[in-house]
Structure 1
Amino acid sequence: MNTQGDLGARALHVLETVFGYSSFRGEQADIVDVVARGGDALVLMPTGGGKSLCYQIPSLLRDGVGVVVSPLIALMQDQVDALAEVGVRAAFLNSTQSFDEALQIERRLRGGDLDLLYVAPERLMTSRCLALLESAKIALFAIDEAHCVSQWGHDFRPEYIQLSVLHERFPQVPRIALTATADSQTREEIIHRLQLEDARMFVSSFDRPNIRYQIVEKANGRKQLLDFIQSEHAGDAGVVYCLSRKKVEETAEFLNEHGLNALAYHAGMETAVRSRNQARFLREEGIVMVATIAFGMGIDKPDVRFVAHLDLPKSIEGYYQETGRAGRDGLPASAWMAYGLQDVVQQRRMIDESEAGETFKRVQSAKLDAMLGLCETLHCRRTRLLDYFGQSSLPCGNCDTCISPPGAYDATVDVQKLLSTIYRVDQRFGAMHVLDVLRGVDSEKIRQRGHEQLSTFGIGSDRSEAEWRAILRQVIALGLVSVDHEAFGVLKLADAARPVLKGGERVQLRVYQKPVKARRTSGKPKGFVETDLSAAEQTIFEKLRWWRMETARTHNVPAYVIFNDATLREIAKTQPASLNELRGVSGVGEKKLETYGEEIVALLEGAGVD
């Protein structure tokens, strides 16, 4: 057994020579040490925080092959390609391979010719695969996206529950479970279902300070989205999430009609088309992917500059996971959402109409309440987000509520007017009718029912329909009013409305702000610094990007697999004149130095670098 110092030195050597980084980040070194010594670990680390190194390096330090359980079949090829670029012997087993291809991988595994093997959970649980693993030397098991084991979570995968078999059949093999999102309930379920009671837990900060969070009042969602992209992220890669397949296709078509390079992605598409669109998004620059949440888990593309939502996510975990796909390279990125009354009603209806049990519905309702609280908060969104995961934070100064603090007012009288109107129409009508009565709209429908005679008719005429819809949205979010979906969206008073109506409880709401068109900027969020490069260095950087694009096309891999932007910027700034100088650049390991070093040095010489 190595001493701790020896193991730490070996781990650092692998980090430097294979992956090209001079030091570990955060708790990476401690995690690597625990797993490399044969211990179990549960790792909660934000997207882009370097989770993969936490199992890749121990796999290289221990005897045998590291087996990575991952649900991301569509991305395994890119993960294996990226490892091949740094000289790691990696392969995958999943349903996309022919029998002969899988047979070849199995031979390599038995022959000790692999450092890492990626396996889909469905394949892993077959008797053939388990027998295969028992015939090989296993260094460790890494269970990626471990939150998928939670039946209460936002991305439950039934096959994950069976993964406890790894501990039962391979008791001496260390296991590391990793996820970017897990509240306390999900953490407990991961520990219980994967039998990780003795595992060491590592919880990194969930903060992604480079992401700016912005939630706007939804008026015309698609038009607002277009304005946001054109004003702040023209030419950038981004992801737009929609709830339905139809909305995905319509939004992608809309963006294309207005000059953007947009692709659609949802589970109802032909597999070949969906895979082709994903490959284009990963390999090309400046593409906007419009998708359902079927797209994205584990996406490694580091230069996604924005993630937008045209529909309200079901939970903060889902929102955090999805927005976390922006800015994985650490550079400024945006998380933008358009949110309105219909979002609240729609999500409540989905829970109410679910065939799940009452306990599950209560959990989902609580998760939705937390998501609504994030949308409606008067305070820093980042503080609210981190608080959900049990972490405290000072106001960030970089979200919309910090940059332009929303006004708040004592809305008790307005809320009483709304609640009284719902009561006066006998809790038998939907939002449109209630607001028409409140505003005193003279319509045939209202006269037919005699509602123009009600004492509440017209008492809200001082406010616009948009303002009242915003008030109603917040009142529903606060649980004062419910929507009866079985009765076609009828508004009903909740028990919590009684003390407000009687004057025993005050209500604070956000001041309504009319949606305004985003002003066109230089194309980046406020405070975005493209680079601190000089004009001459910027020219070199662009030449390096062109070289990277051509090289990636030749190798048939995404451009970031060759080098990410941060590495190219450092090369442009330091302008290494030799292979030895290039060796010191972050992200340049020995294999990449051997493969690309001479080309880069020659390119720099040709660009006039001394």
Structure 2
Amino acid sequence: MTQTSHHPAPLNILQEVFGYPAFRGAQEAIIDQVSQGGDALVLMPTGGGKSLCYQIPAIARHRADRGVTVVVSPLIALMHDQVGALEEAGVHAAFLNSTLSSEQAQHVEREMMSGRLVMLYAAPERITNPRFLAQLDSLAERGLLSLFAIDEAHCVSQWGHDFRSEYLALSLLHERYPEVPRIALTATADDLTRADIISRLRLEEARVFISSFDRPNIRYAIIEKDKPREQLLRFIRDEHENDAGVVYCQSRKKVEETADWLVAEGLKALPYHAGLDAAVRQKHQDRFLREDSIVMVATIAFGMGIDKPDVRFVAHLDLPKNIESYYQETGRAGRDGAPADAWMAYGLADVVNQRRMIDESPAGEEFKKGQRGKLDALLALAEATDCRRVRLLSYFGEASTPCGNCDNCLLPPATWDGTEAARKLLSCIYRFQQNGGQRFGAGHLIDVLRGKATDKVTQYGHQSLSTWGVGADLPETQWRAVLRQLIALGHVVTEGEYMTLALADSARAVLKGEVQLLLRVPAVAPKRGKLTRGNRPSGSGGSGAPTDLDAAAQDRFDQLKAWRAEVAKEHGLPAYVIFQNVALAEMARQHPRNLEALGQISGVGAKKLEAYGQEILRVLDAD
């Protein structure tokens, strides 16, 4: 049967299965393209509804007797949650991964081969395994191989921030099954990564859908490091008491030390990194997904595919590698659309460390050059005095206007003419090189500029340099900010194991006074609540709990959350898989008296109405 131009089937599925009244953004066009057998590359921000873009075509094509959709997913945790959510919604889905016993895996394979299964989630290395490919061959011969969905598609690109070599083999899907449509999805990809995805996955004929990268509910703030642990604690206590959040650190050691420190300060914090025992990692991840108010302190080993919608903040205690990483990591906050924060503290050592990691990597020079360019773009974002969101979106090729909701918009930073200070600093580095060809680090440079007679200054006779004491009028914090910005601008480079300082070619123009440098004044931490006056979406407070409920509705909301926690525990699933907070808040607000009214609430699909409707009505009417 040919669909009409309105393609009612996908909309019916959206309403009946998932309980949502209408599509968002480009979802409908993407779903139509894939449902009708076309390929697609989808760039859509985290929380934008990417999963529905392949789940609805999978359901539609299965109902048309097209068989199973195979979803490529790199993470076991994501597979579990997605399958759990689909089964809750009445869609027959399963996963194949190392957590299954051989009997369980065989049962899943039988369901797949019979055509009864709608969606199967598996990792790329399993999908390209000869035994599994033989099973796909059999399905394809019988016309029961419906669709391939490749999630986290940026993993295929060496230019992406999370390259995984096993993704490279996925090009064989096109070669082996040219008639089976494919949809590749990612939240982050610049032009270079996008081109790489198309080339490596053979998606030259695919329609490309690029949604807005803007996450208006996230407020971005980047501050200079000054006792960063205490800055982090102040941020959490002032703005996110009892909230779920993620704190990213660069090293495993720092993850464990930071988590221990936060626990000692009375927070529920857990460490997560690849060096922990797999069982410990799984336990910590499960607690984060299933409990409220957990702060996960982690390396970048944690996060991809984490579907928890009510993460209220993502904090960085170290600078990420590039804007793609920063955007992907901060995007894990506020997936439910309620206000969330992306907070980062960074300093001179971060800049030096990231440059060193690039320089010392075994990669080729062309790749290193690309990585340096990406780091420079992130440093420009960190040092910016204008709207963070405009800069961030511009990086992904999207024009925008000042958001009124980032730190620079809410509290415009003071700037000063740092040209003379920069010339003094560059001149001092030049004098070191002239005075015996020695090179020194940041601490010694600032001591000389401020006229501080340390043993090292005396040892090298640097009190006799013409630059000795010329910067005594500025505090050490300001000199560090000047140096950091000069490194960020590329006028100073760091070299060798001890990260000594040298002049870049572009320093010559600054020394000659041909370039004016307007620099940020080192910021003072804002007072409690100072940043909360921006244009933040209403309807939720810091904890993701609704703030616009009256006392009776709030009581109903609390009762519904308690009921949901019991159901989630019984089913072995995170609470948000049963119903998200936004759906519970709407139930509490509207107080439906019958199943028909309850079924009109967004997020209540037919299966959930049948499974939980009477229980929800009972909870709502309980005294």
- Tell me if both proteins adopt one fold, taking TM over 0.5 as the criterion: yes
Quote the Cα distance in structure 2 between the aligned partners of 1:240 and 1:368: 20
Is residue 494 of structure 1 aligned with residue 504 of structure 2? Answer: yes
Identity, % of aligned positions: 62
- List aligned pairs for 1:534-549, cutoff 5 A: 534-549=550-565
Is residue 20 of structure 1 aligned with residue 19 of structure 2? Answer: yes
Quote the Cα distance in structure 1 between the aligned partners of 2:533 and 2:313: 10
Q: Which runs of 4+ in 1 moved over 3 A?
A: 520-529
User: Deviations 1:269-306 (Å, cap 9, x if unpaired)?
Assistant: 00000001001100111100000000000110000000
1:82 counterpart residue number: 85
Shift of 1:521: 8.5
2:522 counterpart residue number: 512
- List aligned pairs for 1:354-503, cutoff 5 A: 354-426=361-433, 428-486=439-497, 488-503=498-513
The residue matched to 2:5 in structure 1 has which SS?
helix
Shift of 1:490: 1.1
Return closer, same or farther for 1:526/1:185 CA change in 2, 3 Å cut-off.
Answer: closer
- List aligned pairs for 1:225-240, cutoff 5 A: 225-240=232-247
Quote the Cα distance in structure 2 between the aligned partners of 1:591 and 1:238: 31
Identify the match of residue 348 of structure 2 among 337, 341, 346. 341
Residue type of the partner of 2:416? Y
User: Deviations 1:183-237 (Å, cap 9, x if unpaired)?
Assistant: 0000000000111111001000000000000001101111111110010000000
Residue type of the partner of 2:278? T
Return closer, same or farther for 1:25/1:585 CA change in 2, 3 Å cut-off.
Answer: same
User: Deviations 1:86-145 (Å, cap 9, x if unpaired)?
Assistant: 001000112222222211111111111200000100111100111111222111000000
Identify the match of residue 212 of structure 1 among 216, 219, 227. 219
Is residue 350 of structure 1 aligned with residue 357 of structure 2? Answer: yes
Please say which of residues 66-75 and 366-375 is displaced more in the overlay.
Answer: 66-75
User: Deviations 1:149-182 (Å, cap 9, x if unpaired)?
Assistant: 1101100000111111000111100000000000
Contact 1:232-1:521 within 8 A present in 2 as well = no
Shift of 1:520: 6.3
Residue type of the partner of 1:2? T
Residue type of the partner of 2:2? N
Residue type of the partner of 2:30? I
1:35 counterpart residue number: 34
Shift of 1:517: 6.5
Quote the Cα distance in structure 1 between the aligned partners of 2:588 and 2:265: 35
Quote the Cα distance in structure 2 between the aligned partners of 1:248 and 1:582: 44
2:339 counterpart residue number: 332
Residue type of the partner of 1:403? L
1:73 counterpart residue number: 76
Quote the Cα distance in structure 1 between the aligned partners of 2:167 and 2:130: 16
Identify the match of residue 147 of structure 2 among 125, 140, 145. 140
Identify the match of residue 115 of structure 1 among 115, 118, 123. 118
Return closer, same or farther for 1:491/1:521 CA change in 2, 3 Å cut-off.
Answer: closer
User: Deviations 1:390-444 (Å, cap 9, x if unpaired)?
Assistant: 0000000000000011122221100000001111111511111111000000112
Identify the match of residue 99 of structure 1 among 99, 102, 113. 102
User: Deviations 1:358-399 (Å, cap 9, x if unpaired)?
Assistant: 011001000100100110011000000000000000000000
User: Deviations 1:36-64 (Å, cap 9, x if unpaired)?
Assistant: 00000000000000000000000011121
The residue matched to 1:132 in structure 2 has which SS?
helix
1:5 counterpart residue number: 5
Residue type of the partner of 2:481? A
Return closer, same or farther for 1:246/1:225 CA change in 2, 3 Å cut-off.
Answer: same
2:130 counterpart residue number: 127
Residue type of the partner of 2:520? R
Quote the Cα distance in structure 1 between the aligned partners of 2:531 and 2:189: 37
The residue matched to 1:409 in structure 2 has which SS?
strand
Return closer, same or farther for 1:34/1:601 CA change in 2, 3 Å cut-off.
Answer: same
User: Deviations 1:553-597 (Å, cap 9, x if unpaired)?
Assistant: 111110001100110011011100001110000000011001110
Residue type of the partner of 2:489? L
Contact 2:404-2:534 within 8 A present in 1 as well = no
Please say which of residues 475-484 and 529-538 is displaced more in the overlay.
Answer: 529-538
User: Deviations 1:334-357 (Å, cap 9, x if unpaired)?
Assistant: 000001111000101100111111
Return closer, same or farther for 1:167/1:185 CA change in 2, 3 Å cut-off.
Answer: same
Quote the Cα distance in structure 2 between the aligned partners of 1:549 and 1:580: 24
Contact 1:437-1:456 within 8 A present in 2 as well = yes
Quote the Cα distance in structure 2 between the aligned partners of 1:247 and 1:241: 10
Return closer, same or farther for 1:455/1:372 CA change in 2, 3 Å cut-off.
Answer: same
Quote the Cα distance in structure 1 between the aligned partners of 2:172 and 2:340: 40
Identify the match of residue 171 of structure 1 among 156, 174, 178. 178
Shift of 1:519: 1.9
The residue matched to 1:384 in structure 2 has which SS?
helix
Shift of 1:543: 1.1
Shift of 1:70: 0.7
Quote the Cα distance in structure 2 between the aligned partners of 1:384 and 1:57: 34
Quote the Cα distance in structure 1 between the aligned partners of 2:527 and 2:248: 20
Residue type of the partner of 1:419? L
User: Deviations 1:488-521 (Å, cap 9, x if unpaired)?
Assistant: 111000000001111222222112224x365269
Identify the match of residue 620 of structure 2 among 601, 604, 607. 604
Shift of 1:536: 1.4
Residue type of the partner of 2:613? G
Is residue 276 of structure 1 aligned with residue 276 of structure 2? Answer: no
| Structure 1 segments unaligned to the other structure (5+ residues) | none
Quote the Cα distance in structure 2 between the aligned partners of 1:138 and 1:226: 51
Quote the Cα distance in structure 2 between the aligned partners of 1:503 and 1:212: 37
Contact 1:242-1:290 within 8 A present in 2 as well = yes
Q: Please, what is the CA RMSD of the aligned residues?
A: 1.5
Contact 1:230-1:520 within 8 A present in 2 as well = no
The residue matched to 2:604 in structure 1 has which SS?
coil
The residue matched to 1:259 in structure 2 has which SS?
coil
Residue type of the partner of 1:121? P
Quote the Cα distance in structure 2 between the aligned partners of 1:357 and 1:16: 51
Quote the Cα distance in structure 2 between the aligned partners of 1:457 and 1:560: 61
Aligned residue pair count: 604
Residue type of the partner of 1:604? L
| Structure 2 segments unaligned to the other structure (5+ residues) | 542-546
Quote the Cα distance in structure 2 between the aligned partners of 1:485 and 1:477: 18
Contact 2:244-2:292 within 8 A present in 1 as well = yes
Quote the Cα distance in structure 2 between the aligned partners of 1:603 and 1:287: 27
Residue type of the partner of 1:443? T
Quote the Cα distance in structure 2 between the aligned partners of 1:83 and 1:182: 27
Identify the match of residue 274 of structure 2 among 267, 273, 284. 267
Shift of 1:605: 1.4
TM-score (norm 1): 0.97
Contact 1:227-1:518 within 8 A present in 2 as well = no
The residue matched to 1:5 in structure 2 has which SS?
coil
2:59 counterpart residue number: 60
Residue type of the partner of 1:89? H
Return closer, same or farther for 1:432/1:521 CA change in 2, 3 Å cut-off.
Answer: closer
